[in-house]
Structure 1
Amino acid sequence: MADGKGRYGGTANRLSWENRPQWLRRRVKDTEPDDSDREALLLAVADAGMPLAPAAYPVAYRCSCERIGCPTPGRHPVSFAWQTQSTTDRAQIQRWAEGEPLANFITATGMVHDVLDVPLEAGRKALDRLLELGVEVGPVAESSGDGEQARALFFTATRGTPEDEDEWWPCELDCRPETMDEHPGLRWHCRGSYVLVPPARLPGDHEVYWVRGPELTLPDPLTLLETLTDACAQFIGEQEDIEQEVAWPLGR
């Protein structure tokens, strides 16, 4: 199991994205992790207190659940009881991993941790900015993909408790919070939601992988929120500018 340096955390985190070696930005495609790597990464998540449950996995461009037209292939839990099924028990996770060697895994949010989920480009810029400011950033994962599927996942301590349950919104992977106008591009996964954890395979040769490992301390989400929302707003504004430039000649 990694020690927090090199592959997914530690010493290289203060490098700019442009100067980071390819192996740090994402795993090399032609060297798939063996079963021991996969199991070690999953157990590291469990050891950090984040509960896990089995998820579907891609079969070519389809989903292993075999649902016709599955809207989130390879990205959803196997069981409808995933919230109660989720566990940090190492023996159970090992049984799942050995019994389903191709399965992805999700972690249920809102129990121990939340996840701030932003567009990948915005997340990379925000991470560099946070590290420059000396902010303590916890685990960070990336989900490669096309368009909206390319995301950066910032793992934080949870702010969801029974006392303030109405303060935060539950958010499925394919949903947006009601306050999206205030936080463009941001999804806040808390109670009632989940995210995929690395290593996870997605359709189209995409994947979810660690940039900063799960052994890092979970920060308060509010210490990251302003920088993330600023980066998201800038990213959304740039996208709108591009769309307007492209669309203008078509309207003449």
Structure 2
Amino acid sequence: MSFAWQTQSTTDHGQIERWARHQPQANFITATGMVHDVLDVPLAAGRQALTRLLDAGIEVGPVAESDDDRMLFFTLTRGTPEDEDEWWPCELDCHPETMDEHPGLRWHCRGSYVLVPPARLPGDDGRSVRWVRGPEHPLTDPLSLLEVLTDSCARYAEEQPDHTSAAWPSRH
């Protein structure tokens, strides 16, 4: 990744194709909060939630799985990009007392970004991010997934040895 990635970023399709052609091993990131958000959950909770959502006939958009034990659900944005004064910042997805990020559900929205699969995670250990459901699936409203995802995260937290820090909020 270029150290100047924020100034080099673009939505120009031709430039993105040139980069992909000239640097086929490069990772790409996508900024969240303008067109799409990403609901990021522990892998075990995400797999359980994805099965429940699909079995219930709920529309699910693109989903990625990461070797750092996370599952990413790509959704429509919850923010209102046309009104710059009203948007949902990622900082709301943390413990309100300490502002520490919680390891349960993370809502990547305005001010955040995620790797676009297929991608390699930092380091030399071969970990990656890959599609489970590809980008051909249309983005859905995040609120249609939220109840099942938070329920799965709460169940996941209960199964962890230190469930008080495994996810927030929990059902206790």
Per-residue CA distance 1:17-76 (angstroms, 9 max, x = gap): xxxxxxxxxxxxxxxxxxxxxxxxxxxxxxxxxxxxxxx3xxxxxxxxxxxxxxxxxxxx
Change (3 A) 1:94 1:142: same
TM-score by length of 1: 0.56
Distance, in Å, in 2 between the alignment partners of 1:242 and 1:137 is 28
Pairing 1:91–2:11 present: no
Gaps of 5+ in 2: 165-172
Aligned length: 156
Q: In the alignment, which residue of structure 1 is the partner of 2:6?
A: 81
CA contact (8 A) 1:177 1:188 kept: no
Residue 217 (structure 1) aligned with residue 141 (structure 2): no
SS in 2 for 1:240: coil
Cα distance, 1:141 vs structure 2:
0.5
Name the residue aligned to 1:170: 90
The structure 2 residue matched to 1:105, chosen from 19, 25, 28, is 28
Does the 8 Å contact 2:10/2:16 carry over to 1? no
Residue 151 of structure 2 is matched in structure 1 by 230
Q: Residue in 1 aligned with 2:168?
A: none
Identity of counterpart residues, as a percentage? 62
Q: Relative CO higher for 1 or 2, CA cutoff 8 Å, sep ≥ 6?
A: 2
Mapped contact 1:169–1:177 kept (Cα < 8 A): no
Q: 1:141 is matched with which residue?
A: 64
Output the amino acid matched with 2:54.
L
SS in 1 for 2:152: helix
Partner amino acid, structure 2, of 1:199:
P
The equivalent residue for 2:167 is: none
3-state SS in 2 of match to 1:92: helix
Residues 160 and 85 of structure 1, relative CA distance in 2, 3 Å threshold: same
Matched residue SS, 1:81: helix
Is the radius of gyration larger for structure 1 or structure 2?
A: 1
Instruction: Give the aligned residue type for 2:10.
Output: S
**Deviation, structure 1 residue 217:** 1.1
Q: What SS class does the counterpart of residue 216 from structure 1 fall into?
A: coil
C-alpha spacing 1:242/1:158, structure 2 compared with 1 (3 Å): closer
- Greater share of residues in helix: 1
CA distance in 2, matches of 1:223, 1:193: 21
Aligned counterparts of 2:52 and 2:113: Cα–Cα separation in 1: 26
Q: Kindly indicate whether the alpha-carbon contact (under 8 Å) linking 1:184 and 1:233 is maintained by their aligned counterparts in 2.
A: no
From 104, 110, 118, give the equivalent of 1:185.
104
CA distance in 1, matches of 2:34, 2:159: 35
2:41 maps to 118
